[in-house]
Amino acid sequence: MAEPGNPVVLAQTTVDDESTAYELGRAAVEARLAAGVHVEARMTSFYWWQGKVQHEREYRLTFKTVQDRVGALEAWVHGRHPYEVPQWIVLPVSAATEAYLSWAQAETRGA
């Protein structure tokens, strides 16, 4: 049974190296900080950095976790992230099935 008040959230970051993306994704699941991680296909990002527009080929990681694990996941990711200022965006999930919510809560606790 799902814990009330501990909803599923999606947290996202990007990295410029495929193996780093895979390593971060797998290790976050193994550490039980995320129930699952999507490593999305390579994309091109444009952004301001050091006074000019930059562009890089990057991989987006989407961590599926629960609200009360986001702080620990953020600290964990930032401690291993190769960027000086990593992207970190947390998106609320407005609806999820009871079964999915229960699964995500159990997998982030090792139950």
Question: Which CATH number does the domain housing residue 75 bear?
Answer: 3.30.70.120
Burial of 91 (0-12, 13-18, 19+ CB in 10 A): exposed
User: Quick check: pTM over 0.85?
Assistant: yes
Structural domain boundaries, residue 73: 8-107
Q: How far is residue 91's CA from residue 73's CA, in Å, rounded to a whole number?
A: 14
Domains held by the chain: number: 1
pLDDT in tens, the chain (111 residues): 777 788 999 999 999 999 999 999 999 999 999 999 999 999 999 999 999 999 999 999 999 999 999 999 999 999 999 999 999 999 999 899 999 999 999 999 876
- CA–chain centroid gap for 42, Å, is 16
Q: Are 63 and 12 in contact (CB under 8 A)?
A: yes
